[in-house]
Amino acid sequence: MSTITKYASAGRATAAVFALGLGLGMNAWADNHGPDKTYNFGEPATAEDLKPFFSPLPDGRGLPKGSGTVMQGEKVYQQQCLACHGVNLEGGIGDRLAGGRGTLVNNNPEKAPVKTVESYWPYATTLFDYVKRAMPFDRPGSMTDDEVYAVSAYILWKGNIIEKDATLNQDNLAKIEMPNRNGFKPANR
């Protein structure tokens, strides 16, 4: 038998033994970790652990305490949003945030809908939730609740939805009447 043949035969035998051992090991693992078994690692999630996974409801339930003004929001926007969303919320790297009213429903296939906070989103709480969770893009979730209320106020003011002297908080955000509040119909299920 040549040296090469000896090594090839030994390699096949080693691979077969390894595969058999792996198969037996996986069966033993599966016996101890089936659907009714516990894995015995980690710990139960606390309310604080789960907090980032809950969204405020359209009626405002679940909004955190805090507040922010349009003018405070302008500063936050300039520092954390402008690079992606543009000076006038016109978009750029990030989505356009203002404008587009009346563009969602039209019969002209050459006029694409312009989906913005102003034209599409039915609830102001959705704006707060999205900014809180996903912005700024390079540091999602890093803004304080007050900063999120403030930048939400600024975006809503730029969209002619609230007045320039407005202050948003957990008590009044859900009461804002968004331009497309009635633009969605329940599914017939």
The separation between CA 40 and the C-alpha centre of its own chain, rounded to angstroms, equals 31
User: What are the domain boundaries of the chain?
Assistant: 1-42, 58-175
Is 76 in contact with 144 (CB distance < 8 Å)?
A: no
- Confirm or reject CATH 1.10.760.10 for domain 58-175, answering yes or no: yes
pTM: 0.74
Beta bridge partners of 167: 69
Each residue's pLDDT, cut to its tens digit, for the chain (189 residues) gives 555 555 555 556 666 555 555 555 556 555 555 566 666 678 888 888 887 777 899 999 999 999 999 999 999 999 999 999 999 999 999 999 999 998 888 778 888 899 999 999 999 999 999 999 999 999 999 999 999 999 999 999 999 999 999 999 999 999 999 999 988 888 888
Alpha-carbon span 41 to 73, nearest angstrom: 43
**Of 128, 131, 144, nearest to 178 (Cα)?**
128
